[in-house]
């Protein structure tokens, strides 16, 4: 899927940036408005796929030198770890904690372990989607 279309590539970069931005927003907003780890992760991988379509596999690998299998494992560890943290405090597994903090510059923030959990979800979703696309893509 090699293509040298400069316009497409430039456009892709712009769109990619937008999508990633959007997906990050979606990811963080998830607790309050529609979104969350899934959608965020899917959108991000959508962006990477777009990158794949615009450039070739090698280029993308150069830009994003990620072992997606490890990414999946790391995501899972994140999610499990968030839950397993509860084991240390002898509260039920996956018990979340949250607190509101006021930071000087960022202002009012809600720190929530659920967000860490959702990050795990995000990583797994990106990793899985990429693994699927990549392995099939490489096989062709």
Partner 1 sequence: MINFLILPILIPLVTGVLLIFAAKHIMLQRLIAGLSALITVIVSVLLVKKVNNDGIQTLNLSNWDAPFGITLVSDMLSALLVLTTSIIALACVIYSFRGIDEDREKFYFYAAVNFLIVGVNGAFTTGDIFNLFVFFEVMLMSSYVLIVIGGTKIQLRESIKYLLVNVISSALFVIAVAYLYSVVGTLNMAHISVRINEISELGQPGIITVIAVLFLIVFGLKGAIFPLFFWLPGSYYAPPAPVLALFGALLTKVGVYSIARTYTLFFYQDGGLIQQLLTILAVISIILGIIGAIAYWDIKKIVIYNIIVAVGVILFGISAMTQDSLIGAIFYLIHDMNVKAALFLLVGIMAAITGTSDLRKISGLIKRYPGLGWTFFLAALSLAGIPPLSGFVGKLLIIKGGFESEHYWGAGIVLMSSLLVLFSIMKIFINGFWGTSRDYEGADKVSVKRMMAAPVILVAIAVFYGVGSEFVYPYISQAAETLANPGIYIDAVLKEY
Partner 2 sequence: MEILISVIVGILFMSATYLMLSKSLLRIIIGTAILSHGAHLLILTMGGLKRGAAPLLGESASSYSDPLPQALILTAIVIAFGVTAFFLVLAYRAYQELGTDNMDKLRGNEGND
Partner 3 sequence: MSLLHLAIISPFLLAILVPIAYKLFRQIHTGWFVLPLPILLFSYFISYLSITSDQQSVTKSFSWIPALGIDFAAKVDGLGLLFALLISGIGSLVVLYSIYYLDKNKEQLNTFYVYLLLFMGAMLGVVLSDNLIVLYTFWEFTSFSSFLLIGYWYHREKSRYGAQKSMIITVFGGLSMLGGIILLYLMTGTFSISEIIAGSDEIFSHSLFVPALLCFLIGAFTKSAQFPFHIWLPDAMEAPTPVSAYLHSATMVKAGIYLVARMSPVFAEHSLWLWLIAGFGITTLFWGSFSAVKQTDLKAILAFSTVSQLGMIMSLLGIGAAALHFETVDDSYFTVATTAAVFHLINHATFKGSLFMVAGIVDHETGTRDIRKLGGLMNFMPITFTLAVIGTFSMAGLPPFNGFLSKEMFFTGMVRVLEMDIFNLDTWGFLFPVLAWVASVFTFIYSMILVFKTFTGKFQPEQLEKKPHEAPIGMLISPIILASLVIIIGFFPNIIANTLISPAQAAIMPVEGYVYDTHIYFWHGFTPELFMTLGVITLGILLFVTLPKWRRVYDFLPEKLALNRFYDSGLSGIQHVAHKFTKWYMNGSIRNYLVYIFTFFIITLLSVLFLKGAFKFDASNVSAIRFSEIVLALVIAIGAITIMFVKSRLTSIILLGAVGYTVALFFVLFRAPDLALTQLVIETISVALFLLCFYHLPQIKDEERMPFKATNAVISIGVGLVITLIAFSAHSNKLFDSISQYYIDNTYEKAAGKNMVNVILVDFRGFDTMFEITVLAIAALGIFGMIKLRLGGGKKNENK
Question: What does the binding site for partner 3 look like in residue numbers (CB under 8 A)?
Answer: 26, 30-39, 42-43, 45-46, 49, 68-69, 72-73, 75-76, 79-80, 83, 93-94, 96, 98, 110, 112, 114, 117-118, 120-121, 124-125, 127-129, 131-133, 135-139
What values do phi and psi take at 93, rounded to 5? Answer: -50, 140
Nearest in space to 26 (alpha carbons), one of 5, 47, 11? 47
Distance set, CA 41 to CA 18, 85, 99 (Å) = 14, 24, 25
Identify which of residues 6 and 76 has a Cβ nearer to partner 3 in the complex: 76
Relative orientation angle of helices 6-29 and 113-139, to the nearest 10 degrees? 150
| Virtual torsion, Cα 84, 88, 93, 98, nearest 10 deg | -90
Selected from 10, 33, 53, 93, the binder of partner 1 by CB under 8 A is 93
Q: Does 111 bind partner 2 (CB under 8 A)?
A: no
Name the minimum Å distance from CB 88 to partner 1. Answer: 10
CA–CA distance, 75 with 69 (Å, rounded to integer) = 10
Give the residue with the Cβ less far from partner 3, 55 or 120.
120
Interaction between residue 84 and partner 1 (CB under 8 A): yes
Tell me which residues touch partner 2 (CB under 8 A): 32-34, 38, 125, 128, 132, 135-136
């Amino acid at each position: 899927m090699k293509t040298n279309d400069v316009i497409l590539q430039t456009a892709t970069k712009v769109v990619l940036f937008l999508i990633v931005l959007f997906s990050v927003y979606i990811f963080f907003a998830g607790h309050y408005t529609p979104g969350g780890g899934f959608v965020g992760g899917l959108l991000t991988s959508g962006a990477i796929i777009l990158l794949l379509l615009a450039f070739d596999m090698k280029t993308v690998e150069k830009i994003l030198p990620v072992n997606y299998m490890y990414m999946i494992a790391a995501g899972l560890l994140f999610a499990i770890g968030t839950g397993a943290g509860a084991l240390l405090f002898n509260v039920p597994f996956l018990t979340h904690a949250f607190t509101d903090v006021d930071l000087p510059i960022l202002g009012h923030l809600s720190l929530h372990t659920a967000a860490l959990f959702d990050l795990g979800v995000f990583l797994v979703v990106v990793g899985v989607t990429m693994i699927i696309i990549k392995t099939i893509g490489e096989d062709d």
